């Protein structure tokens, strides 16, 4: 910051000098510094989103973000030079891969699926089980994980150092041609923080209160309503998929949504060691949900209809630690006890609303695409 202001100060002085006389031209050229400071990146935050918190030691710059975009799509960061972050986080699928479980360079599947990166800047907990509190802490994991890109950052750094492409880009972004793991991750997370999806039909509706059909509005109301048995019908979605981000990553909360009676994957409990956390996972973003199938941490559901059927009719009500809002979320305890019990129409309406969360500009935005492809 100090450096940038110095530059502004210098240019004002230069302008003034030019205005005063033309005989000092020689002096101006001598002042030009060796490496220009990187330009701050202009972040556009969608209306109603929380104010983003960006680490003080890694402000977004145009140069850093541009470098991060290349690194995101750089296959040299994998052991056999075949995979990049973008292999699993594909833009046209809102940065997911269409698989139930992510598959790494050695053909081995992860226990869980690839998560969307839409609005990851607002995630105060990362990955399905919240193993990492910040994006900066998380970013090295998929690169080094043996069942993902399977290469130490140090090896990736030396591969990049030996190119003619990267040292000047690191110099432009960070003022040094010497690449380090730290700077590599900083550039990568700068790019990831720009992956903002806030231009869906739902977002337009929040600004204008117009543009959604009767079914979509009915779906939004069900989504956002807590059930009062036999008084107010709801679908309880908002408790975990909290608007406007439609996830629990911001609030850093984890839930057992009643998929199983026993847990082959302990989820959050595997991180905290607390039995109360077993079988709990973060509620992922529902933005662009039509593009991010299959659903759940293990990709067990292939359609949104199956997901709605689960919450309405198939929740394991005796699953230990089941979220209280699902235990109590029974629309009609007399005629359909122990079930949320949505009607076919209500399921269709919720899905109609979920489809308004697709952001066509996000998946087409050239700033996020693979720079190595034409």
Partner 1 sequence: MKNRTLSALFLLAAPLALFSGCKKDSDTPEATSTGSVNFTVQNVVPNTNVVGVQPPTPLVLNSSVATTSTGETFTVSTFEYYLSNIKFTKSDGTTYAAPDTYFLVDQATAKTLSFTVPNVPTGDYTGVSFIVGVDAQRTGLTNPLDFTGKLEALNQAYNMYWTWNSGHIFLKMEGTLTSTNPTKPLTCHIGGWGNNSTPNAIVTATPAFGSNKLTVRTDKAPTIALQANVAKLFDGPNPVTLSTFMGAHMPSAQSVQIAQNYAAGMFSVTQINTN
Binding site for partner 1 (CB under 8 A): 16, 19-20, 45, 47-51, 122, 206-207, 220-221, 224-226, 228, 232, 238-239, 242-245, 248, 250-253, 274, 276, 324-325, 327-328
**CB of 138 or CB of 248, closer to partner 1:** 248
Contacts of 284 (CB under 8 A, 6+ apart): 115, 116, 128, 247, 249
Minimum CB distance to partner 1, residue 333 (Å): 10
**Is-contact 71 184, C-beta < 8 A?**
yes
Distance CA 16, CA 342 (A): 71
Tell me the closest approach of the beta carbon of residue 9 to partner 1, in angstroms: 12
Q: What is the helix (H) or strand (E) element at residue 254, kind and residue range?
A: strand 254-255
Residue with tokens 């972040």: 43
Question: Nearest approach, Cβ of 225 to partner 1 (angstroms)?
Answer: 6
- Compare residues 237 and 293 and give the one whose CB is closer to partner 1: 237
- The region that residue 252 occupies, defined by phi over 0 for left and psi between -120 and 50 for alpha, beta otherwise, is left
The least distance separating partner 1 from the CB of residue 224, rounded to whole angstroms, comes to: 4
Buried b / exposed e over 228-243, threshold 16 CB at 10 Å, is eeeeebbbbbbbbbbe
Minimum CB–partner distance for residue 18 and partner 1 (Å):
10
CB of 107 to partner 1, least distance (A): 38
Evaluated on CA atoms 106, 108, 109, 110, the torsion sign reads negative
CB of 197 to partner 1, least distance (A): 14
Nearer to partner 1, 77 or 220 (CB): 220
Between helices 181-193 and 62-72, what is the axis angle to 10°? Answer: 100
Q: Give Dmax (Cα) for the chain.
A: 92
| Nearest-approach distance from CB 20 to partner 1, in angstroms | 5
Nearer to partner 1 among residue 151 and residue 249 (C-beta): 249
Gap between the terminal Cα atoms of the chain:
35
d(CA 37, CA 7): 9
**Nearest CB to partner 1, comparing residues 108 and 232:** 232
Closer to partner 1 by Cβ: residue 173 or 218: 218
- Give whichever of 37 and 317 is closer to partner 1, judged by the CB atom: 317
Reference 171, options 8, 72, 61; nearest CA is: 61
Structure tokens at 114: 């690839």
Beta carbon nearer to partner 1, 99 or 238: 238
Within 8 A by CB and 6+ apart from 182, the residues are none
């Amino acid at each position: 910051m100090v450096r940038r202001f110095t530059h502004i100060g210098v240019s004002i002085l230069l302008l003034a000098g030019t205005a005063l006389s033309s005989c000092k031209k020689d002096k101006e050229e001598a002042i030009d510094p060796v490496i220009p400071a990187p330009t701050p990146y202009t972040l556009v935050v969608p209306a109603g989103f929380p104010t983003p918190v960006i680490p003080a030691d890694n402000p977004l710059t145009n140069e850093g973000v541009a470098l991060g975009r290349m690194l995101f799509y750089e296959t040299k960061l994998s052991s056999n030079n075949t995979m990049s972050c973008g292999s699993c986080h594909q833009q046209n699928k809102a940065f997911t891969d269409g698989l139930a479980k992510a598959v790494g360079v050695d053909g081995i599947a992860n226990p869980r699926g690839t998560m969307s990166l839409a609005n990851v800047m607002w995630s105060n907990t990362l990955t399905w089980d919240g193993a990492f509190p910040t994006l900066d802490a998380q970013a090295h994991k998929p690169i080094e994980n043996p069942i993902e890109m399977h290469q130490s950052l140090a090896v990736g750094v030396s591969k990049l150092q030996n190119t003619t492409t990267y040292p000047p880009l690191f110099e432009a972004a960070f003022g040094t041609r010497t690449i380090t793991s730290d700077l590599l991750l900083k550039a990568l997370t700068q790019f990831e923080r720009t992956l903002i999806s806030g231009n869906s039909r739902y977002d337009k509706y929040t600004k204008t209160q117009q543009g959604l059909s009767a079914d979509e509005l009915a779906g939004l109301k069900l989504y956002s309503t807590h059930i009062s048995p036999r008084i107010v019908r709801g679908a309880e979605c908002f408790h975990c998929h909290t608007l406007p981000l439609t996830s629990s990553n911001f609030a850093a909360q984890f839930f057992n949504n009643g998929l199983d009676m026993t847990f082959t994957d302990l989820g959050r409990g595997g991180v905290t060691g607390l039995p109360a956390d077993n079988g709990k996972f973060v509620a992922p973003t529902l933005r662009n949900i039509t593009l991010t199938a299959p659903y759940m941490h293990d990709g067990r559901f292939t359609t949104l209809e199956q997901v709605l059927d689960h919450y309405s009719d198939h929740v394991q009500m005796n699953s230990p630690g089941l979220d209280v809002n699902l235990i109590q979320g029974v629309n009609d305890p007399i005629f359909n006890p122990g079930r949320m019990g949505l009607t076919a129409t209500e399921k269709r309406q919720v899905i109609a609303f979920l489809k308004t969360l697709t952001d066509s500009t996000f998946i087409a935005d050239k700033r996020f695409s693979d720079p190595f492809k034409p």
